[in-house]
Structure 1
Amino acid sequence: MKPPIGPTTRLCMSLAARPGTFGSRFHNHLYDALGLDFVYKAFTTTDLEGAVRGIRALGIRGCAVSMPFKEDVIPLLDGLRDSAAAIDSVNTIVNDEGTLLGYNTDYSAVRTLVEPLARAPFLLRGSGGMAKATATALVDAGFVEGVIVARNEAKGRSLATALGCGWQAEAEALTAPMLVNVTPLGMTGADAEALAFTRTQVEAAEAVIDVVAKPVETPLLRLARALGKPVVTGAEIAKLQALEQFVLYTGVRPTEAQVAAAESYALAT
């Protein structure tokens, strides 16, 4: 049983433009299961620099970083580990006695989940920090002839050039064996009913990846499943990246059963 919250309790947190419940429920469930004197809370901010100063000043142990802060947070940190430095994107901050180090557990999660899929050309929508991690994981895993689809030409072209991919501002007329959505399309809220790719594109694809974690079944994933396509879900990515964050923060690696129970609890609402 986790000790009651007190002066020795260590705080972990997340920063996102649109805070969700998955991380808080996942981490807090594991703290309870393992009897760890930690607590986790989700936040948003309009003052990223001030928030990072707070992490340092208050001794907050760790912070998950989500859209749109994954790149902007980098100059505010003391250093980057290889996982983040290689792609200039941070999704995890670890506070080691006042030294803030950036990591990227999105990359390792995506890399693990795409290993069983057949190597093939891909269309990837997005150009932000998560898109960098996802596209880099695909290329490093042997997926070739990728096309980055991004309306932001500067960011889209930059990512495409770095990875040896093509770039298009729009891609409704294109098809590829693998479709990858790394945008908020399909996410709970204003974009909940948006389809990241057309039905024709999904019909022509052999596999679909959607990084949106909530809802678990986005319109894109529902369509892909209905058409019999293999999928990688945002919930799967969220679980694996959150697990590695948990280990970085606590130094404890839960059992598979404990992780499965935490995931089920996190997705229950």
Structure 2
Amino acid sequence: MPPTRLTIGRDTTVCMSLAGRPGTFGSRFHNHLYAALGLDYIYKAFTTRDLPSAIGGLRAFGIRGCAVSMPFKEACIPLLDTMAPSAAAISSVNTIVNDDGRLSGHNTDYAAIAPLLVKHGVPASTGFVSRGSGGMAKAVVSALRDAGFSQGTVVSRNEAAGRALASACGFGWQAEATAAPMLVNITPIGMEGAPEATELAFPEALIAEASVVFDVVNLPPETPLIRRARALGKTVITGAEVATLQAVEQFVLYTGITPSEAQIAAAADFARG
């Protein structure tokens, strides 16, 4: 059972998220930690067709923080006052912090990648092929570069965006995926509710040849790609792991408090339950 939260009142601090397809992970994760730590906060997920008005609402209503997911990670940037280095370096925002009406953009996705690679024992000498060229792809590919990975290829349907990302990070670009020791999916393929929800992000032959399969899709926690890779005995890194680490970074930005490892684990288990 989750801990019981405090009664919501006029002084309750509100945090939220904006996504094209709102999920439940963030709301359950953050609210669980608020209750466990006795914080007078509440978190709610939203979507919008009017991003400028939504961002204006953060200021108008004093919303403390806002997680940002596809397709708003780049579109929100002109609406902010300042950018933290983690977001400015890759022109992608996944977290907005409101300090007395001044909105700053951050990217906690970027911060989550390197620790996961270390956790799973993936050396920087590992060659990779990544698929995707959007805001999340910028965070992941930039994090791979900054973690010392030098042998990579970006694959994307959008040639201009894919080439730009590859060039910015010192990698190659190509239209179709080829074999590599590590495959990284940074697209909505396999995401619950997406048109390609039941599809594999990479051909089965390439999955069979790879040693590591990394899928940033968080919903569902076990995507078709992750299920297939597990069945083949590959090392897998899941979007659920990324979601947990980046959410912890957001929590610290919003509250100034770092939860314990046990509290984080309990919140993640509850969020996925």
Which of the numbers 77, 83, 88 marks the counterpart of 2:86? 83
**1:241 aligned onto 2:213:** no
- The one-character-per-residue Cα deviations of 1:68-127 (angstroms, maximum 9, x if unpaired) are 111111110000011111111100000000000000000110111012212311110100
Given candidates 33, 47, 54, the residue that maps to 1:51 is: 54
Q: Which residue of 179, 186, 190 corresponds with 1:186? A: 190
CA distance in 2, matches of 1:70, 1:146: 23
Structure 1 residue runs of 4+, over 2 Å off?
none
Q: Provide the secondary structure at the position in 2 that maps to 1:215.
A: coil
Kept in 2: contact 1:194–1:219 (CA 8 A): yes
1:20 is aligned to 23
The two structures, once aligned, show a CA RMSD in angstroms of 0.9
Quick one: which amino acid aligns to residue 23 of structure 2?
A: G
Partner of 2:268: 263
Mapped partners of 1:2, 1:112: distance in 2? 31
Q: Give 1:152 shift.
A: 0.7
Secondary structure (helix, strand or coil) at the match of 2:62 reads coil
Secondary structure of 1:235's partner? helix
Shift of 1:185: 0.7
Q: Using the alignment, how far apart are the partners of 1:207 and 1:112 within structure 2?
A: 15
Residue 142 (1) aligns with residue 145 (2): no
2:157 to 151, 160, 166: 151
List aligned pairs for 1:3-152, cutoff 5 A.
3-115=6-118, 116-119=121-124, 120-152=126-158
Counterpart Cα distance in 2 of 1:84 and 1:212: 20
Please, which runs of 5 or more residues in structure 2 have no aligned partner? none
Question: TM-score w.r.t. structure 1 length?
Answer: 0.97
CA–CA separation in structure 2 for the residues paired with 1:29 and 1:191: 31
Following superposition of structure 1 onto structure 2, how do residues 170-249 of structure 1 map, counting pairs within 5 Å? 170-171=176-177, 174-189=178-193, 190-249=195-254
In 2: Cα distance, 1:3 partner to 1:267 partner: 22
Shift of 1:55: 0.4
- Show CA shifts across 1:182-231 (max 9, x none): 01111112322110001110111110100001111111111111111101
Residue aligned with 1:28, SS: helix
Amino acid at match of 1:141: A
SS in 2 for 1:36: coil
Q: Under a length normalisation based on structure 2, what TM-score does the superposition of the two structures give? A: 0.96
Letter paired with 1:204:
E
The Cα shift of 1:3 comes to 2.4
Question: Does the 8 Å CA contact 1:243/1:259 hold for their aligned counterparts?
Answer: yes
Query: Does structure 2 conserve the Cα–Cα contact (< 8 Å) formed by 1:126 and 1:183?
Result: yes
Task: Give the number of aligned pairs.
Answer: 266
In 2, the alpha carbon distance for the partners of 1:7 and 1:169 equals 53
Contact 1:122–1:144 (CA under 8 A) maintained in structure 2: no
Q: For residues 161-192 of structure 1, what are the alpha-carbon distances to aligned partners after superposition, in whole Å with 9 as ceiling and x for unaligned?
A: 10111111222xx1111100001111112322
Unaligned runs of 5+ in 1: none
Q: Which amino acid aligns with 2:134?
A: G
Once residues 117 and 81 of structure 2 are traced to their aligned partners in structure 1, the CA distance between those partners, rounded to angstroms, is 32
Identity fraction in percent: 64
